[in-house]
Amino acid sequence: MTTKRKSRPPDPPPPHIPGHPSLTIALVERVLAKLSSSRSGIVALLKAEGSNFTTWSQACDHHPPLVEQYARAKTAQAHFLFAQHLDVSSDQTRDPACRRVEADSIKWVAAHLAPKVFGEKAEVEHTVRIADLPDDELERLIAVELAKTRAR
Protein backbone atom coordinates (compact mmCIF):
# COMPACT_ATOMS: atom_id res chain seq x y z
CA MET A 1 0.00 0.00 0.00
CA THR A 2 1.42 3.34 -1.01
CA THR A 3 0.60 6.56 0.71
CA LYS A 4 0.72 9.82 -1.06
CA ARG A 5 2.69 12.48 0.63
CA LYS A 6 1.14 15.84 0.82
CA SER A 7 3.22 18.25 -1.14
CA ARG A 8 4.38 21.24 0.76
CA PRO A 9 2.98 24.52 -0.47
CA PRO A 10 5.53 26.77 -2.11
CA ASP A 11 7.21 29.37 0.07
CA PRO A 12 5.54 32.74 -0.14
CA PRO A 13 7.53 35.41 -1.95
CA PRO A 14 9.60 37.62 0.33
CA PRO A 15 7.90 40.82 1.42
CA HIS A 16 8.71 43.68 -0.91
CA ILE A 17 8.28 47.41 -1.18
CA PRO A 18 4.73 47.96 -2.52
CA GLY A 19 4.79 48.36 -6.29
CA HIS A 20 8.42 47.23 -6.53
CA PRO A 21 8.64 43.41 -6.44
CA SER A 22 12.38 43.42 -7.15
CA LEU A 23 13.07 45.55 -4.06
CA THR A 24 12.48 43.27 -1.09
CA ILE A 25 12.33 44.47 2.51
CA ALA A 26 15.34 42.25 3.29
CA LEU A 27 17.36 43.87 0.49
CA VAL A 28 16.44 47.35 1.73
CA GLU A 29 17.46 46.45 5.29
CA ARG A 30 20.78 44.97 4.09
CA VAL A 31 21.60 48.00 1.93
CA LEU A 32 20.73 50.51 4.66
CA ALA A 33 22.70 48.55 7.27
CA LYS A 34 25.75 48.49 4.98
CA LEU A 35 25.30 52.16 4.10
CA SER A 36 25.37 53.31 7.71
CA SER A 37 28.82 51.76 8.27
CA SER A 38 30.48 52.16 4.90
CA ARG A 39 32.33 54.63 2.73
CA SER A 40 30.38 53.35 -0.28
CA GLY A 41 27.43 55.19 -1.69
CA ILE A 42 23.94 53.88 -2.30
CA VAL A 43 24.54 53.25 -6.02
CA ALA A 44 27.50 50.91 -5.40
CA LEU A 45 25.69 49.06 -2.62
CA LEU A 46 22.54 48.56 -4.73
CA LYS A 47 24.63 47.33 -7.65
CA ALA A 48 26.39 44.82 -5.39
CA GLU A 49 22.96 43.52 -4.33
CA GLY A 50 21.76 43.19 -7.93
CA SER A 51 19.47 46.22 -7.89
CA ASN A 52 19.83 49.72 -9.28
CA PHE A 53 19.31 53.33 -8.28
CA THR A 54 16.38 53.90 -10.66
CA THR A 55 14.35 51.23 -8.87
CA TRP A 56 15.44 52.69 -5.52
CA SER A 57 14.45 56.25 -6.38
CA GLN A 58 11.07 55.14 -7.79
CA ALA A 59 10.43 53.18 -4.60
CA CYS A 60 11.34 56.25 -2.54
CA ASP A 61 8.82 58.31 -4.53
CA HIS A 62 6.01 55.92 -3.62
CA HIS A 63 7.07 54.75 -0.16
CA PRO A 64 7.79 57.66 2.26
CA PRO A 65 9.06 55.44 5.14
CA LEU A 66 11.89 54.35 2.84
CA VAL A 67 12.98 57.99 2.50
CA GLU A 68 13.04 58.38 6.29
CA GLN A 69 15.06 55.17 6.73
CA TYR A 70 17.49 56.32 4.04
CA ALA A 71 17.93 59.71 5.72
CA ARG A 72 18.67 58.04 9.07
CA ALA A 73 21.16 55.70 7.38
CA LYS A 74 22.93 58.67 5.71
CA THR A 75 23.20 60.44 9.08
CA ALA A 76 24.56 57.25 10.65
CA GLN A 77 27.04 57.03 7.76
CA ALA A 78 28.16 60.60 8.45
CA HIS A 79 28.80 59.72 12.11
CA PHE A 80 30.69 56.59 11.02
CA LEU A 81 32.83 58.62 8.63
CA PHE A 82 33.52 61.29 11.26
CA ALA A 83 34.70 58.57 13.65
CA GLN A 84 37.00 57.35 10.88
CA HIS A 85 38.22 60.93 10.46
CA LEU A 86 39.24 60.96 14.12
CA ASP A 87 41.02 57.60 13.74
CA VAL A 88 42.88 58.72 10.61
CA SER A 89 43.92 62.08 12.02
CA SER A 90 45.31 60.49 15.20
CA ASP A 91 47.24 57.68 13.43
CA GLN A 92 50.86 58.62 14.15
CA THR A 93 52.29 55.82 11.98
CA ARG A 94 51.35 57.55 8.72
CA ASP A 95 52.80 60.54 6.93
CA PRO A 96 51.27 63.74 8.39
CA ALA A 97 50.43 65.21 4.96
CA CYS A 98 48.62 62.04 3.86
CA ARG A 99 46.76 61.90 7.19
CA ARG A 100 45.62 65.49 6.79
CA VAL A 101 44.40 65.01 3.20
CA GLU A 102 42.48 61.83 4.01
CA ALA A 103 41.03 63.27 7.23
CA ASP A 104 39.94 66.44 5.44
CA SER A 105 38.29 64.48 2.63
CA ILE A 106 36.42 62.26 5.11
CA LYS A 107 35.37 65.34 7.09
CA TRP A 108 34.14 67.00 3.88
CA VAL A 109 32.00 63.97 2.96
CA ALA A 110 30.58 63.79 6.49
CA ALA A 111 29.71 67.50 6.34
CA HIS A 112 27.82 66.95 3.09
CA LEU A 113 25.99 63.87 4.37
CA ALA A 114 24.86 65.59 7.60
CA PRO A 115 25.34 69.34 7.17
CA LYS A 116 23.34 70.21 10.29
CA VAL A 117 25.71 68.14 12.42
CA PHE A 118 29.11 68.40 10.72
CA GLY A 119 28.74 71.31 8.28
CA GLU A 120 30.31 74.68 8.70
CA LYS A 121 27.96 77.51 9.48
CA ALA A 122 27.95 79.95 6.61
CA GLU A 123 27.44 83.53 7.59
CA VAL A 124 26.53 86.01 4.91
CA GLU A 125 26.98 89.70 5.46
CA HIS A 126 25.29 92.17 3.20
CA THR A 127 25.53 95.94 3.47
CA VAL A 128 22.97 98.25 1.96
CA ARG A 129 23.21 102.00 2.07
CA ILE A 130 19.78 103.29 2.97
CA ALA A 131 20.34 106.60 1.19
CA ASP A 132 20.47 104.73 -2.16
CA LEU A 133 17.07 103.03 -1.75
CA PRO A 134 13.72 104.48 -2.71
CA ASP A 135 11.21 104.68 0.17
CA ASP A 136 8.96 101.89 -1.09
CA GLU A 137 11.93 99.51 -1.47
CA LEU A 138 13.16 100.40 2.03
CA GLU A 139 9.70 99.69 3.49
CA ARG A 140 9.61 96.34 1.66
CA LEU A 141 13.03 95.34 3.04
CA ILE A 142 12.04 96.33 6.56
CA ALA A 143 8.86 94.24 6.29
CA VAL A 144 10.87 91.23 5.08
CA GLU A 145 13.36 91.52 7.94
CA LEU A 146 10.55 91.90 10.50
CA ALA A 147 8.88 88.77 9.11
CA LYS A 148 12.16 86.86 9.44
CA THR A 149 12.57 88.04 13.03
CA ARG A 150 9.03 87.03 13.95
CA ALA A 151 9.47 83.60 12.34
CA ARG A 152 12.42 82.82 14.62
d(CA 141, CA 145): 6
What confidence score (pLDDT) does residue 11 get? 72
> How far apart, in Å, are the Cα atoms of 75 and each of 34, 64, 125?
13, 17, 30
Domain 16-118: CATH superfamily is Homeodomain-like (1.10.10.60)
**Residues in the chain with pLDDT values less than 70:** 1-5, 13-14, 128-131, 152
- Domain extents in the chain: 16-118
Gyration radius (Cα) of the chain, Å: 26
pLDDT digits (tens, 9 = 90+) for 87-106: 888 888 989 999 999 989 98
